[in-house]
Amino acid sequence: MTQKIKAIILDWAGTVVDHGSRAPMGAFVKAFAHFGVEITIADARGSMGMAKRDHIRLVGTTPAIAAAWRARHGTDFDDAAIDAIFEVFEPMNVAAVESHATLIPGARAALDWCAARGIRIGSTTGYTRPIMGRLMPLAAAQGFAPEVTICAGDLAAGRPAPLQIWSALAQMGIWPASSVIKLDDTAPGIGEARAAGCWAVGAALTGNNPGLSAEELASLSPDQRAALRQDASEPLLRAGAHLVIDTIADLPWLVEHIEARLAAGEKPGILEAN
Q: CA 269, CA 256: separation in Å to the nearest integer?
A: 19
Q: CA 205, CA 228: separation in Å to the nearest integer?
A: 7
User: Is residue 118 exposed (0-12), middle (13-18) or buried (19+ Cβ within 10 Å)?
Assistant: exposed
Of the listed 11, 18, 184, 185, which one is catalytic?
11
- Phi, psi (degrees; rounded to nearest 5) at 157: -145, 140
Q: Which has the closest alpha carbon to 132: 94, 169, 180?
A: 94
Torsion angle (degrees, nearest 10) of CA 94, 98, 99, 103: 110
Q: Detail the DSSP E strand segments found in the chain.
A: 7-10, 120-128, 149-152, 180-184, 199-203, 243-245
Assess whether 52 carries a catalytic annotation.
Answer: yes
Cis bond before residue 176 (omega within 30° of 0): yes
C-alpha gyration radius of the chain: 18
Of the listed 6, 43, 52, 182, which one is catalytic?
52
Q: CA 253, CA 148: separation in Å to the nearest integer?
A: 24
Catalytic residues: 11, 52
